Amino acid sequence: MPDDLTAAADPHGALALARRALRHFEAGTTDQAPQIVRQSLAAYTDPDRYALELERIFRRLPLGLALSLDLPGPGGYLALEAAGVPVLILRGEDGAARAFLNACRHRGAALCAAGKGTARRLVCPYHSWAYDATGALKSVYDEATFGPLDKAKLGLVALPCAEAAGIVWVALNPTAAFDIDAWLGDFRAELEGLQLARWHIHAQRSFPGPGWKVAWDGYLEAYHHNPVHGATVGRYTIGNLLVHDIFGPHQRLVFGRKSLADRAGRPEAEWQPEADIRRIHSVFPNLSISGVLGDHALVSLLLPGPTPDRSTTRQTVLAARRPETEAEIAASDAFARLVLQAVVDEDYAVGATVQAGLTTPLLGHFLFGRNEPAIQHYHAEVARLAGTEPPQPVAG
């Protein structure tokens, strides 16, 4: 049977992906870019370039800032800071998700503290101006003494927002309207296949990391898995084996799990393709959705910090269903510990040394190998959308 299986024969594409991964495993190969490229260190350190990228990418494009699961019902909200913009995402009584600047129109105080909660009415903690879930200003404390104003013109500043594929997408510029179908293209079907709205949030946490690009590079390749993750996720995946597909700026990375080796020479009817691969959906510019082990998955939202050497990651651990038994709870807790260790103690610990090395200009540039096609594509897309210099081919 050819790789382009019919939807009926391979509805989630797992068998075709497992075939590609197994061929690489047996041959000792991996998907590759056409050539090695070099990336100037200025792409990681130059504050002017950084400011340009924040403005043209993070403050104009739709960002997947929340899961639909973060807003489980009317009044559910998530407040966070993204690329220096205070954002409040709120589900209304009509079920629609909306996004606003998390700032009162009176004097700019945050309406909700960072994190999640439920509020059918938003009351400013500074002077008690109150807004409803659509952002409309409903009341002004002691309005008679404040003076006349037109409340209809003083609703919260709305941010473009759409909900699709179990994700709430927000643009951080009020004038940056977007078409989510056009932005996601064929990748939308990939994301919808994950059925994110049907999962259960088991744990969420935020933690600091190295600069945005240093941190994000680690989400885009399997080359480092054996050296860095031998004690954690590397126990389950095959290092330096990548099946790579591009969907515009977005990417799908597939790693082979070690169980893949048992499929060689066996009839495909006996395969368990979903158990033999690990899919990572990399949504440009900063959302990674990774099916790591069995009934668990990891969603990582990486937000750039105020300077090129700092970032924050919001990590969400998903379980296929709410764990109820002692064994199920223990399994979900163990997975949550595993991915925290893999990211913080392994990826970001190494990333901190990379970030420290960027303080000297002596290195000149980084190299992205042919076996790192996803990193190459990502940096090329950043350069294309920001209008900066892309990675350059290395002769040889």
Q: Which CATH code is given to the segment(s) 62-177?
A: 2.102.10.10
Tell me how far apart the alpha carbons of residues 19 and 325 are, in angstroms, rounded to a whole number.
36
pLDDT of residue 170: 98
Give kind and range of the element (H or E) at residue 90: strand 85-91
In the DSSP assignment, the letter for residue 394 is P
Sorting pLDDT into bands at 50, 70 and 90, what band is 292?
A: low
Report strand pairing: 200-209 vs 311-319.
antiparallel
Long-range contacts of 359-363 (CB under 8 A, 24+ apart): 361/41, 363/41
Give pLDDT, residue 236: 87
Residue 1 has pLDDT above 80, yes or no: no
Whether domain 14-56+198-393 has CATH 3.20.20.150: the reply is no
Say what the pLDDT of residue 396 is.
65
Q: What is the rounded CA–CA span in Å between residue 366 and residue 72?
A: 43
Residue whose tokens read 């090329």? 380
- Residues 192, 229: Cα–Cα separation, whole Å: 29
Beta-ladder partners of 117: 77
Instruction: Reduce the DSSP state of residue 121 to 3 states and report it.
Output: strand
Q: Is the pLDDT of residue 253 over 70?
A: yes
Burial pattern 32-47, b for ≥16 Cβ within 10 A else e, equals ebeebbebbbbbbbee
* pLDDT of 7 above 60: no
Which three-class secondary structure state does DSSP give residue 207? strand
User: Using one digit for the tens of pLDDT, what is the confidence trace for 133-190?
Assistant: 999 999 999 999 999 999 999 999 999 999 999 999 999 999 998 999 999 999 999 9
Of residues 81 and 11, the one with the higher pLDDT is: 81
Q: What pLDDT, in 10s, does the model give residues 328-356?
A: 999 999 999 999 999 999 999 999 999 99
Region of residue 364 (phi > 0: left; psi between -120 and 50: alpha; otherwise: beta): left
Q: Give every CB contact of residue 26 below 8 A, 6+ residues apart in sequence.
A: 264
Q: Assign 274 a pLDDT band (cuts: 50, 70, 90).
A: confident
Separation of first and last alpha carbons in the chain = 38
Mean pLDDT estimate for the chain = 94
Positions of CATH 3.90.380.10 in the chain: 14-56+198-393
pLDDT computed for residue 271 by the predictor = 87
3-state secondary structure of 320: coil
Alpha carbon distance 270, 293 (integer Å): 20
335, two tokens: 């997975």
Tell me the chain's radius of gyration from C-alpha atoms.
23
Residues of the chain with CATH 2.102.10.10: 62-177
Predicted confidence at residue 362, as pLDDT, reads 82
As a whole number of angstroms, the distance between CA 263 and CA 388 comes to 45
